[in-house]
C-alpha cells in the first residue's frame, strides 16, 4: 500500500510539473491533482522561479467567440476529440496531449499560440458544462465552438464569412490552422484548412 501511494504521488507531481511547464495557472493544478495548495505553490515556484499569478481565472465563454480564438479553439477541440476517439485518451491526459500537438504545429510554423493551456482546459470545462458546444458550418462542414444557448440554424463560421476587422492576424491564424489540419489529417481541420487557404488568398 505504501509503495502504491508513493507511485501515485510521484505521478501527481509529474503531472503538476508538466502542467506548470505548459503554462497552467494554479487553479488548473488544484483541480487536476490531489496535492495540497502549499505543495503546489512550492512546486510552481521551483519550476518557474516565480510565484503563480494571484486571483481568479479571468476567462469567460465570450473569449472563445472572438474571431482568431474561435478558430484556434475549434482546432484544439478537433485534436482533443480525435485523441479521445482514436487513442482512447480522456481528461487531463487528453488535454495535455492535444495541447502539445496544437503547440507543436503553431511553433513549427513560427506562429503565435493564441490558446493558452489554461484556456484550453477552461474550454473543455465549458463544453462539459454544456455552456459551449460545437456546430457544423453550413458552408464548409467544419465544427466550430459556439454558445450552447444560442440559435445555430444556418450557422456560418468565421472562415467562410471573415469579418473585415479580422485584419492581418487572419493570415497567421490561417497558416496555423492549415498546418494543424494537414499534419493531423483530420476531416474537420483539413476542411477548415482548405477554407483558410481560400481566405488567405483573398487577403493577399
Ligand atoms: Zn465554414
Q: How far is the CA of 161 from the centre of ligand 1 (A)?
A: 7
114-138 burial, b at 16+ Cβ within 10 Å, e below that, comes to bbebbbbbbbbebbeeeebbbeebe
What does the pLDDT average to over 126-135?
96
Q: How far is the CA of 136 from the centre of ligand 1 (A)?
A: 8
This prediction's pTM: 0.80
Q: How far is the CA of 155 from the centre of ligand 1 (A)?
A: 8
Say yes or no to pLDDT of 36 above 60.
Answer: yes
Neighbours of 41 (CB within 10 A): 16
Q: How far is the CA of 162 from the centre of ligand 1 (A)?
A: 10
8 Å CB contact between 96 and 22:
yes
Q: How far is the CA of 99 from the centre of ligand 1 (A)?
A: 23
Q: How far is the CA of 94 from the centre of ligand 1 (A)?
A: 26
8 Å CB contact between 165 and 68:
no
Could you read off the pLDDT of 68-82 as tens digits, one per residue?
899 889 989 999 999
When computed from its CA atoms, the radius of gyration of the chain, rounded to whole angstroms, is 18
Amino acid at each position: 500500500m505504501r509503495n502504491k501511494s508513493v507511485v501515485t504521488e510521484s505521478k501527481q507531481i509529474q503531472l503538476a510539473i508538466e502542467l506548470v511547464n505548459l503554462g497552467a495557472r494554479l487553479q488548473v493544478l488544484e483541480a487536476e491533482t490531489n496535492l495540497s495548495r502549499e505543495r503546489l505553490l512550492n512546486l510552481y515556484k521551483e519550476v518557474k522561479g516565480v510565484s503563480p499569478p494571484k486571483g481568479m481565472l479571468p476567462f469567460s465563454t465570450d473569449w472563445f467567440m472572438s474571431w482568431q480564438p474561435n478558430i484556434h479553439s475549434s482546432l484544439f477541440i478537433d485534436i482533443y476529440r480525435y485523441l479521445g476517439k482514436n487513442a482512447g485518451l480522456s481528461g487531463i491526459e487528453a488535454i495535455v496531449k492535444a495541447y502539445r500537438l496544437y503547440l507543436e504545429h503553431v511553433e513549427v510554423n513560427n506562429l503565435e499560440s493564441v490558446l493558452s493551456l489554461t484556456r484550453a482546459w477552461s474550454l473543455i470545462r465549458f463544453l462539459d458544462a454544456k455552456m459551449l458546444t460545437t456546430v457544423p458550418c453550413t458552408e464548409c462542414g467544419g465544427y466550430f465552438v459556439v454558445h450552447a444557448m444560442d440559435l445555430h440554424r444556418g450557422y456560418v463560421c468565421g472562415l467562410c464569412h471573415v469579418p473585415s476587422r479580422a485584419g492581418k492576424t487572419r493570415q497567421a491564424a490561417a497558416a496555423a490552422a492549415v498546418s494543424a489540419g494537414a499534419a493531423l489529417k483530420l476531416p474537420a481541420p483539413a476542411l477548415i484548412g482548405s477554407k483558410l487557404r481560400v481566405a488567405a488568398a483573398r487577403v493577399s
